[in-house]
Structures are given as structure tokens and as C-alpha cells.
Structure 1
Amino acid sequence: MTVPTSLGNEAVIPRAAHKGPLRREPLSGRVQFTYSTRFVSAKVQACPASYELLAGEDVAPAPGDVVIARISGIANHKRVETETSRKAIIYEGALVALAYGHRYAADQFLAHVPGNLGRCHLVAAGGVAGTVTQVHALIDAPTGIEPLGLLCDADGVVNLLGAAPYQNVPVAEAPVSRPEVIAMLGTSMNSGKSTVMSCLVNGLTNAGYRVGAGKVTGTGAGNDRMHYFDAGANEVIDFTDFGYATTFRLDYDAVRALTVNMVDVLSRGNDIVLIEIADGICQEETAALLRDDVFHHTVDQVGFAAVDALGARAGVDFLTAAGLKVGLVSGVLTSSPLAMAEAAALVAESGVPVIGTFDLTAAEVAKGLTTR
């Protein structure tokens, strides 16, 4: 979007945002909002004159705070996702609206919210800013950004929580009334969870179910959301709808509440609910969730995506020991008939079927996995 201004197409900031006294600067120039900041974009578009930039050496960003930043060194990320999840090419000097967030991505970055408005990184194409501290060996260095200031209005700094359509109200119990809920888990990032879930959404839709699909944890990005819609889901939401750019390092009570609240929202008007839990079962928030009685009473069964046979066996054993019903194994390993056969042999005594990812699109296969 373009913010109307008399100052031309470039924001004018007299000094680095993390230096000098506390101050407000005009919001000006052409700013590309992103998937994670889409709800804020709508508010700014409605009344751009109400917004400014807050800068100064005492300004410390918090997770979810919206920052206007200039691209200053394109590397790993060469595009950002727009509000509609279009992949927009970024150029040196372009202004983007991002949200600060911690990121945990074993195949990409470990990143944290910095303590000031100094130069940092674009840590996710969905529109997340942070300071990268670890990089996967096969990934390029992160794209650099120069923060110009935190977006603010008359009430103070703009945070995603204030613009989100849903509130993550505190809850300590499972939903009282809900349809069947299946949670999709995996060995790790890129184990095939989203593809498996999309195929299961499609199969259940083909079987006549109205499917509600959600992504409970992870890093803000529209890819998975769009996959679920493409697969035929009746309704799709994710954690960004509750005001979170990422869920890494989120207070655990909030993670539990997010799971329950998302299932509650998706239970209205749908016959079955599918939710994806990001990353692998060893990731901190995920591991805690799997041990939680509230989670156990919120889902009926879990599906498990694995990259190889040993991962499939370990995952089934781990989840079963945690007291969860494992309904299927699928994922990247099903690309290989040999790996499928190995996995089937390893989990045979558990009675859990190993199903080809795209076989889940068949109505009879998907319906056969339901328990109600």
C-alpha cells in the first residue's frame, strides 16, 4: 500500500532509529505490508494520517510489534508474502511492514526479538523481523533490514494482538462440545505435515465432510493456509488470526489456550477439525503440548509425518507413550516404496497404518480414518 504524503516516496528519518531521544516521525512512502501484518494494513489504509513511527535509543520492541523497515542487503529472502500471500519481489531500499518475532526453524534460522531498533534481519517471508543467531549450513545469510521505527498511533505502539480478529482468551480446559479433531504432527520441519494434512482435508471433503483446518503453531506464512483452502477446507485459520507473528517462546499457557480456542472457532459449522502443530515433536512448545491433559482431551487422534522409517517408528512410540492415539503415518517417507515398506514393518505391531500422502485424497481412505 502507499501511504499518502507530501514528502515524496521515501520516508525521511534524520538518524538511526535506535539512536537519539524518544521521538515520533511521520509515516511516509510506499510501504509493502505482509501476511503477518495484514490486519494492521487494513487499519492503516483506512486512516493513514493516524499513524507515525516511534524511534529512539530507549525503544525496545516486543513480539508482535509492527516495524517499518528498509531492505538493506538482500540475501536468503528475496520476496515477502503480501496480505493476500502473493510473493512480492523486494528491492534494495524498499519499505516493508513486518512484525517482530522469535523464530525456530531447524532447516533455516534461529532468531530472536532484539533489544533495540538497530539493524536486524527479515527472518521469514511472511513478514517477521528478528536477529538471526543460527543459520542452517545450506541456507544463505539472512536478508538485512534497517528499522525506521515502530508503527504507532494515539494509543501507543501497534501490536498484532490489537488488530487480530480473534482473541486468545485464557482457558485451562478442553472445549465442552466439538466434532472429531485430528492433529497433524511430524518428526521435524519439512517432514510433510502440511501436505499430508492438505491431502486429508481433500479426502474428507470428497467424502462429504465440511472440514475446518487450522495451524496452531509456527511462523507466520500464508502457504499452508492457502493449501488447505485449495484442498477444499470449509474454513481455515491460523495463529496469525489471533495476533501472533510466531509462536516460538510464547508463554506455554498461551500455546495451550491457542490450541483450545482455535478448535473452538473451527468447531462451529464444521463436521470435522484438522489442526497442524509445526516443527517436530521434540520442539519445546510442541513437546509440552503433547504431555498436556488439556491437549489430550481436545484431540481425538493424531497423524504423524516422517522423513524415514526409523523416524516413523520413533514418533509412533513417542506419541503412544504420551497417551495419544496415532491414527496414521505418512509424509515424506511415502515418496519411496521401499521406505514405506520399512516403516510399515517397524510400526506393524502398533497397528498404525502407513498411508501414501496422496492416497489420503481418496474419500474412502480419508473417511476410514475417522473415529466417530
Structure 2
Amino acid sequence: MTITLNQPVTTSTVLPLPARFQASYTTRLVAEGVEKRASDFWLETAGTPKAGDVVIARVTQINNHKRVETPESRKAILFEGALVMLAYGNRYAADQFLAHVPEDLGPCHLVAAGGIAGTVTALHDRMDEPTEIEPLGLLTDANGTVNVRDFAAHQNPLNVEAKPNRPQVIAVLGTSMNSGKSTTLACLVNGLDAAGHKVAAGKITGTGAGNDRMIYHDAGAHSVIDFTDFGYPTTFKLNFAEIRALSINMINVLADTGADTVIVEIADGIYQGETSRLLRDQLFQHSIDHVVFSAVDALGAKAGVSELQAAGLHVAAASGVMTASPLATAEATEVLNVPVIPTYDLTNPATVTAVLATAQKSHA
């Protein structure tokens, strides 16, 4: 891939906030603040952005991403010349892009439809080149550059402990991106809701997008949050202390909603750097009762379940994309020591409660 970008602006000037721009999902909480007091904000045309810093950018070349997700999770069509409010962020997506926060406000890319600005350094062979953007300036107020963490709905203190009397907590993990984790979680929510449970759901790690939280909501979760509510546009390259705290804080926030079951999703595969370390963390393990594992095929299911069990986690069941294939499901059933449940069977209240009841007994 060869991407040629123009030279950055190095001398900062002040620009008024544009009268019209499209806010994105990751900047939705900032956009609410700007809408209430637009006169308190302006743009600085030069600087060194950090992850989470908010930028207004012009779309200059539409390639892979042809839409941007709005605060309401609508997919707004992009036109060249359109102005969008994005957050700088690092992205790790094995099926799409590897991207990083650039060192300046020069031209860069829209690296995720949820509203992430960054510089793509590697992409999957099946992906088109990234959509190009030209930053106009960093959103600024009297306190300096605006970061999405300034408007976070929840804080992420690093000194955390698991609640002593928390509800049941289930983590959904998988072999990789697109292994069926979000669908598995939604089906778990739907089945437990039908069984009379009050379920809260959250996504701990990943790249900011409203798709997953909307699926959880549609499935019947009474409370839904994700890492963007804590002020993180993405979680890739966060230091481990923040990832660890984010995991526990999110579980605690969901537990405080009155839920009797909390289900959380962890993005990408279990070999992704932050995830691999998190799974072996004692505090995280103490905060999770069961794992439901999503896999693409039987081999991945076998390797993943074995890896999780070796790390000390209790796996209640395997599901995911592989269960769309009766042959792959049969193969996995032969080699796994946990139940293999077709994803949409988890919406059956009798099935999901039986799986978790069996898991409770075996874990006791």
C-alpha cells in the first residue's frame, strides 16, 4: 500500500467552530456539550494530537469508509468536502486496519466508521485503501484541547476492587474479530431476558462503534454501556493498568444497575496483546464467573477453550460462527469438554438456563 499525504500545517492559528459538521458515535458526548455552549469552543490548526483528542476534519477522498456512524448509530453517507467531528485513536483490527495516532495535524485517515481519525500503517488484502481526511483543527476550549475523556459518562479510577456481592458475570471472548462474539452475547441476553433475568451488558475493549451496544439493547438488555462511555475512543495501546481498571469499573457500573446477570464482551482474539494479559490477571479472573467462547471453526474452538482453561478461567460453553455449520459443530463437540451450543439456540430460555446451571455446578 502506498499512501501519499500532503504536508502538515506547523504554525497554529485559531479558527471559529464551523456552523455545520457531522458528529460521530465516538464524539457523541462531546457533541452534546458543544451543542449546549458552542461559543465556548474553537479550533487550533496545529498541535500534537493524543488518543481521544477531538478533531474537526474535511473528507477529501472517499475510499473504504463511505459512511460515518452518528451519535444515534445511524450510518450517515459521506460526501467529499463534508466536515466530521472525530476522535484520534489507535486501531487494531486484524480483518481491516492497523492504525495509529499521528504526530501532527497533517492529512490522515478515517480508520473506523464509529469516528476514529488515525494513520493506517497496514491493512488486510481485501480492504480498500482508507478514506482520506484533512484535519481543520483540534477542538479547543478555555481548558485546552478537548479530549473525549473530558465528557465521559463514567470515570476509570485505577484503584479498583471487585464488588463482594456482585451478580453473576459472564464474559464473551473469541478466536478473532468476526468470530460471532457480539451475536453470541446478544443471544445470551435474549435467552436470559426471556427466562426472567435482568441483564446488563457492556463491551470492554475494541474500537468505538454503536453497532454492538444497539444489538445488546435490541436483545433485551436493560442497561448497556461500552468503553466510549468511559472516555476511550478505542482501547488499543492503552496501558494495562487502564485496561484492567476499565474491565472492573465497567462490571461494577453494570452491577449497580440492579442486574442479576452482567455480560461483557472483549474484542478481537485471545492472543491480542491487551486481552492475553487481561485473561491472566487475578483481579479480572476474580470478577468473572464464566466464559462463553465464540469460534470460527472446531480447531479454533479447541485451541481457545484449552487456552482459557489453562489460564484459569471457567468456560461454560462454546458457540459462535462455527455453529452455523452442522459439520463444524459436530467436530467441536467431539473434541471439547464443554457444551457446544448453536448461537441462536441461546435465545431459548430453557437452553441458556440449563447451560449456566450446569456451569455453576461444575464450577462450584
TM-score by length of 1: 0.93
Deviations 1:105-146 (A, max 9, x none): 000000000000000000000000000000100011100000
Q: Is the 8 A contact 1:17 1:148 kept in 2?
A: no
Runs of 4+ with >4 A deviation: none
Instruction: Give the C-alpha shift of residue 319 in structure 1.
Output: 0.3
SS of the residue 2:48 aligns to? coil
- Which residue pairs with 2:282 in the alignment? 293
| Correspondence for 1:318 | 307
Q: Does 1:21 align with 2:11?
A: yes
Q: Which residue of 2 aligns with 1:164?
A: 152
Equivalent residues of 2:160, 2:249 under 8 A apart? no
What's the CA shift string for 1:262-306, capped at 9, x where partnerless? 000100211100000000000000001001001100100101000
> Which residue is equivalent to 1:149?
137
CA 1:17 to 1:230, structure 2 compared with 1: closer, same or farther past 3 Å? farther
State the alpha-carbon separation in 2 of the partners of residues 196 and 272 from structure 1: 15
Structure 1: runs of 5 or more not aligned: 1-15
Question: Take 1:318 and 1:285, find their aligned partners in 2: how far apart are those partners?
Answer: 15
Contact 1:193 1:331 in 2 (8 A): yes
Report the CA distance between 1:172 and its aligned residue.
Answer: 4.5
Deviations 1:215-247 (A, max 9, x none): 000000000000000000010000000000000
User: In the TM superposition, what is the alpha-carbon distance from 1:171 to its structure 2 partner?
Assistant: 2.6
1:370 and 2:348 matched: no
2:82 is aligned with 1:82: no
Q: 1:77-105: CA deviations, max 9, x gaps?
A: 00010000000001000000000000000
SS of the residue corresponding to residue 37 of structure 1 reads helix
Partner of 2:45: 55
Alignment length, in residue pairs?
352
Q: Name the SS of the counterpart of 1:209 in structure 2.
A: coil
**1:23/1:55 contact within 8 Å kept:** yes
Shift in Å, 1:175:
2.5
Aligned to 1:116: 104
Q: Choose which of 297, 316, 319 in structure 2 pairs with 1:308.
A: 297
Q: Kindly indicate whether the alpha-carbon contact (under 8 Å) linking 2:40 and 2:141 is maintained by their aligned counterparts in 1.
A: yes
What is the Cα-based RMSD across aligned positions, in Å? 1.1
Corresponding residue for residue 207 of structure 1:
195
Structure 2 Cα separation of the partners of residues 194 and 248 of structure 1: 18
Unaligned runs of 5+ in 2: 1-5
Q: What percent identity do the matched residue pairs reach?
A: 59
Corresponding letter in the other structure for 1:341: A
- The answer as to 2:326 corresponding to 1:340 is no
SS at match of 1:72: strand
1:251 alignment partner in structure 2? 239
Whether the 8 Å contact between 1:36 and 1:221 is mirrored in structure 2 is yes
